[in-house]
Amino acid sequence: MPSGRILAGYYHNWNTTSAPHVPLDQSHSAYNLIHVAFATPIPGTLYKMEFNPVMYSPTNFKAQIQTVQATGKKVFISLGGGLHPVRMVNIAQKDTFVNTMSAILDYYGFDGIDIDFEGTSLLALGNNLNQPADSGAHYLIRAIRQLMERHRNLYQRKLGLTMAPETAFVQGGMAAYGGIWGAYLPVIQALRDSLDLLQVQLYNSGTMPALNGQNYAAGTADFIVALTESSIRGFQTSGGLFQGLRPQQIAIGLPACPMAAGSGYTDTVTVGAAMRYLLGRGPRTGQYILIQNGGYPQLGGMMTWSIPWDATASCATPYEFAQQFQRIFPVSPSVFGRILYANSVQSPLSNVRMQLMQQGLNVASDTSDFMGNFDLGTISSGSYGVDYQTTRVWGGVNATDALLTARHFSNISLLNGIHLQAADVNASGTVNATDALMISRRFSNLISNFPAGDWLWENRTLVIGPGGNYQNLVWRALTFGDVNGSYIPPSL
């Protein structure tokens, strides 16, 4: 998947006067995930897939895909759509689906697949969404797993996976689990570990239930906020518990402009307010109150139908949706670097988990590798606390450390920086004779811990601002008491 927040846009594989064709490689720069619509079943079947570019030859269209991919964007093939149900009911049909989709993926070099099954493609049957009774869901799950395994074996990388269900297929399961109501839930549940993005279509929908027991109408802030939270927190159905997904797996799916959907268009002011509330950046915008205090700062992004509609001046300001995304998710820096032990050889520290915290919420986290490398991803502007966790043992303290601490207290030879901080083992805020004594006692095994703890981390805050450089950072650590930095941490 693209780095940072996702703006996914559907690309029409056709031309209409109302939403004229836009060449794939001329899509607005903000779209970093493009869903080419659609691969569909060959007439007379519901499972033998084909994709035929309408505006270009296959060779030319393949070249456009490669041009887009060369910029770091991803191009997926979307399956089905509103007019073309896709359904497999036996192994032979599943195998045909896999073989024909494999041929499409291989020829065009798509980075992933988007499941946009509508109509009767999937049905909610039985009373256990963890054991789908619908053959369409059962064989779809098997087919996707087979395609993903094949892709990894063939190309040594993950095949991207997104889904774009209508609201009835997901949140509708709260009201009733049967027919199309909740029909995507078994598929999401089974493929949750492979799913990159769930982008429920928050339009062309009737009212839908929320976690607070109320129903909300499309085109409102409440609809966006309430249905997004239910996708994250999960909900109970008569077919069992839908467990919900991580915020990073959720994109807010909306029409690009008023004519892009039959109903449910939401104006930019309302969308902006709803997104700020969801992200924990703004006040409540309607009646629905988020269960999660502070919202969901790690939301994956947004999706729209469609890029040609967004470009159409007769529908709204050209690329109004893309520009709205850029206002909601301004370009943010990537934060990565190394964590090292502050000794003479700057030993890399592996197995250190770092978490960026804001208002009590974990905004980003990573665990350092064997070279001490960490990557916290793309982080929005703001002030963050940095929390550390490690199972590494304390060590490296000796009589020299006690002596250096005493010499500092006596103004004979002063410590500074992280080495001065490491001397304050009693956590008093100053270095004194008590610290020197405690270091000596611990070295002599007369005590087993310090009030300050075992590990000292130099960087406990991070402020992200415009224009700052947060790449190739070097964050340092010491064990408390190792004033001279003599410890060589063992490799893990």
pLDDT, one tens digit per residue, over 2-25 is: 877 899 999 999 999 999 999 999
The pLDDT score that the predictor gives to residue 281 is: 82
Q: Give the whole-angstrom CA distance, residue 151 versus residue 75.
A: 15
Q: Report the pLDDT averaged over residues 376-389.
A: 89
HSE of 384, CA atoms in CB hemisphere, 13 A: 24
Phi first, then psi, for residue 249 (nearest 5°) are -90, 5
Indicate whether 257 pLDDT > 80. Answer: yes
Q: Give the whole-angstrom CA distance, residue 294 versus residue 71.
A: 34
The pLDDT score that the predictor gives to residue 378 is: 79
Among residues 301, 256, 307, the alpha carbon closest in space to that of 25 is found at 307
* Lowest model confidence (mean pLDDT) among 37-51, 318-332, 399-413, 426-440: 318-332
Residue identified by tokens 């008590």 is 434
Indicate whether 418 pLDDT > 90. Answer: yes
Q: Report the pLDDT averaged over residues 258-276.
A: 95
Indicate whether 88 pLDDT > 90. Answer: yes
The pLDDT score that the predictor gives to residue 471 is: 75
Q: Give the DSSP H/E element, type plus range, for residue 335.
A: strand 334-341
Indicate whether 468 pLDDT > 70. Answer: no
In CATH, the architecture of 334-479 is: Sandwich (2.60)
Cis peptide before 117 (omega within 30 of 0): no
Question: DSSP characters for 88-129?
Answer: --SHHHHHHHHHHHHHHHHHHT-SEEEEEE-TTS--B-SS-T
* Lowest model confidence (mean pLDDT) among 94-103, 238-247, 334-343, 416-425: 334-343
Residue ranges of the alpha helices (H) in 246-313? 268-278, 307-311
HSE of 446, CA atoms in CB hemisphere, 13 A: 7
The SS3 of residue 442 is helix
**Can you give the residue ranges of every domain in the chain?**
6-328, 334-479
Q: Give the DSSP H/E element, type plus range, for residue 149.
A: helix 135-155
Residues with Cβ within 8 Å of residue 384, at least 6 apart in sequence: 356, 357, 358, 363, 461, 462, 463, 464
What is the tens place of the pLDDT at every residue in 139-185? 999 999 999 999 999 999 999 999 999 999 999 999 999 999 999 99
Predicted TM-score (pTM) of the model is 0.71
Q: Report the pLDDT averaged over residues 332-360.
A: 90
67 Rama sector, left if φ>0, alpha if ψ -120 to 50, beta otherwise: alpha
Q: Considering 118, 149, 229, 320, which one is annotated as catalytic?
A: 118
If pLDDT is split at 50, 70 and 90, which confidence band does 137 have? very high
If pLDDT is split at 50, 70 and 90, which confidence band does 467 have? low
Strand order in the sheet with 361-367: 361-367, 352-358, 382-390, 461-464
The pLDDT score that the predictor gives to residue 252 is: 98
- Angle between the 58-69 and 91-108 helix axes, to the nearest 10 degrees? 70
If pLDDT is split at 50, 70 and 90, which confidence band does 34 have? very high
For 107, the token pair is 């020829």
Q: Give the whole-angstrom CA distance, residue 227 versus residue 439.
A: 56
Question: DSSP characters for 416-430?
Answer: -HHHHHHH-TT-SSS
The pLDDT score that the predictor gives to residue 334 is: 75
Q: Give the DSSP H/E element, type plus range, for residue 320.
A: helix 320-328
Q: Give the whole-angstrom CA distance, residue 214 versus residue 149.
A: 41
Whether the CA torsion 214, 218, 221, 226 is positive or negative: it is positive
Residue identified by tokens 């269209």 is 61
For 123, the token pair is 């049905």
C-alpha to C-alpha distances, 451 to 184, 393, 424, nearest whole angstrom:
53, 16, 9
Cis peptide before 486 (omega within 30 of 0): no
The pLDDT score that the predictor gives to residue 4 is: 79
For 489, the token pair is 């941490």
The pLDDT score that the predictor gives to residue 63 is: 96
Q: What is the mean pLDDT of the chain?
A: 94
Whether the CA torsion 68, 74, 77, 82 is positive or negative: it is negative
For 127, the token pair is 């009373």
If pLDDT is split at 50, 70 and 90, which confidence band does 466 have? low
424 Rama sector, left if φ>0, alpha if ψ -120 to 50, beta otherwise: beta
The pLDDT score that the predictor gives to residue 240 is: 96
User: What whole-number percentage of the chain has pLDDT above 70?
Assistant: 99
For 429, the token pair is 């805020």
Q: Tell me which of 74 and 382 has the higher pLDDT.
A: 74
Task: Give the number of residues written for the chain.
Answer: 492
Q: Give the whole-angstrom CA distance, residue 173 versus residue 167.
A: 9
Q: Which fold has domain 6-328?
A: TIM Barrel (3.20.20)
The pLDDT score that the predictor gives to residue 113 is: 98
Active site residue 458: no
Q: How far is residue 24 CA from its own chain's centroid?
A: 25
